[in-house]
Amino acid sequence: MYCITEQQIEYILNDIRRNGVEMEDLQLNLLDHVCCIVEQELEEDDDFERFYHEVIKQFYKKELHEIEEETINLLTFKNYYTMKKLMIISGIVSATAFVIGSFFKIMAWQGTILFLMVAMGIFSFIFLPLLVVLKVKETDSARNKIVLVIAATVGVLYSMGTLFVAMQWHGGTALLFATVGTSAFLLIPTYFFTGIRNAETKVNTIVTTVLMVGATGLMFTLVRVHQPLPMQTYTYLKNEQLLRKMQRDTGAQSATANKVAVEINTCCEQIKHIILSKDLAEVVPVDFEQKDIIIHERSVNFPETSEAYRLLAQLKNAIDTYNVQIGTDDKISVSHTILDIPHEDLRKCTNFFVLNSLTQIQLSLVSNEPHPVVMK
């Protein structure tokens, strides 16, 4: 039996490491195995290095780290079924959430957003990544793997972009732009030049490429290239400015003249404050013209328990009382204002509609006050 030296053991271990075997467990297994062969088969006066290199060659077909790759493959294969199961479950959950969310949207029920967010979140961050991991494992060519990864990235960008735009979060348009850009300049060229080389997939590649160009073009048509001016904000703020000017002019009289009028004004201001504090986190400053204030259109939500809902009811009562006291010509008309909307339809109203309604009520109130100029 050949007696192997410590230097030789060191030599073998270093060679195994140098050839790309990184798992320590595997290194030690292979080292012991080689040592056993050397001890059993090498004669005392044979050349150790030459013998070692001949032995190690029998361990692999092309390179030694094949063994490690095969080990990793077998180890992850165990998770393969779990991943596949999870992928299918996440796919079903996200599809179901989409269907339920869409139904809620048609019925204008509450919870639509929650369902759609869950659907898009699971689709983008569980389903698509798992699909890529599993498909990449099944695909041999590196080019196809790249195409898969890019395609999934476009998918995630698209669904996130849609979600951001639907929720009116910042960056929605940028995400959709990124989707169109990645699709047009990365996905389509890579896909096309990968598939066109192969005679078998040539026709399919051309057809699918045309479809992808079409889809990307349609998406680009929908993306707002230029942001529109915030005209709704301008209109509201100008009305508000006008109201304040008129209130200032008639200020002295209205403060004391009518308790009901004061109540109407207070209610309107409070409701507006509730809405604006969500949009701007502050009240509209007097010098708003110098600042870049943009209010984004959104639906308001006044559940029956909310302060705003209570204030609306109080406002309605106050206006009824006011209209009884005042002459026929000066009555405040509430038709086509927020007070005219049935309770179940309140959530269909936008913030601008509510804000403008209230300002208009206040304007008609202040226009009933005796104007100082007219008095003179």
Partner 1 sequence: MVFSSELIKGTLKTIVLKLLTDNDKMYGYEITQRVKELTTDKIQITEGALYPTLHALENEGLLTTETEYIGKRVRKYYSLSPAGKTRTQERVSEFADFMETMQFLLDIKTKLA
Which stretches of the chain bind partner 1, using CB under 8 A? 6, 9-10, 23, 25-26, 28-33, 35-37, 58-61, 66-67, 70-71, 73-75, 77-78
| H-run or E-run covering 310 | helix 307-325
- Is the distance from CB of 125 to CB of 161 less than 8 angstroms? no
- Residue nearer to partner 1 on the CB measure, 77 or 169: 77
- Find the shortest distance in angstroms from Cβ 23 to partner 1: 8
- How many angstroms separate the CA atoms of 290 and 276, rounded? 18
What are the residues whose beta carbons fall under 8 Å from the beta carbon of 303, sequence distance 6 or more?
Answer: 309
- Find the shortest distance in angstroms from Cβ 37 to partner 1: 7
Report which of 243, 241, 307, 245 is spatially closest to residue 275, judged by C-alpha positions: 307
Helix axes 24-41, 6-18, angle to 10 degrees: 130
Give the pair of three-digit tokens for residue 72.
């990793």
- Find the shortest distance in angstroms from Cβ 17 to partner 1: 14
- Residue nearer to partner 1 on the CB measure, 12 or 151: 12
What share of residues in the chain are helix, strand, coil (percent, to 5)?
75, 0, 25
- Find the shortest distance in angstroms from Cβ 166 to partner 1: 44
- Find the shortest distance in angstroms from Cβ 9 to partner 1: 5
- Residue nearer to partner 1 on the CB measure, 18 or 61: 61
- Residue nearer to partner 1 on the CB measure, 75 or 206: 75
- Residue nearer to partner 1 on the CB measure, 36 or 207: 36
What are the residues whose beta carbons fall under 8 Å from the beta carbon of 31, sequence distance 6 or more?
Answer: 9, 12, 13, 16
> Rounded to whole angstroms, what are the CA distances from 344 to 114, 233, 299?
20, 26, 13
- Is the distance from CB of 34 to CB of 53 less than 8 angstroms? no
Following CA atoms 127, 129, 135, 139 in sequence, which dihedral angle do they give, to the nearest 10 degrees? 170
> Rounded to whole angstroms, what are the CA distances from 287 to 78, 292, 293, 343?
66, 10, 10, 35
- Residue nearer to partner 1 on the CB measure, 60 or 109: 60
- Find the shortest distance in angstroms from Cβ 13 to partner 1: 8
- Residue nearer to partner 1 on the CB measure, 37 or 213: 37
- How many angstroms separate the CA atoms of 44 and 335, rounded? 109
- Find the shortest distance in angstroms from Cβ 49 to partner 1: 18
- Find the shortest distance in angstroms from Cβ 150 to partner 1: 32
- Residue nearer to partner 1 on the CB measure, 6 or 292: 6
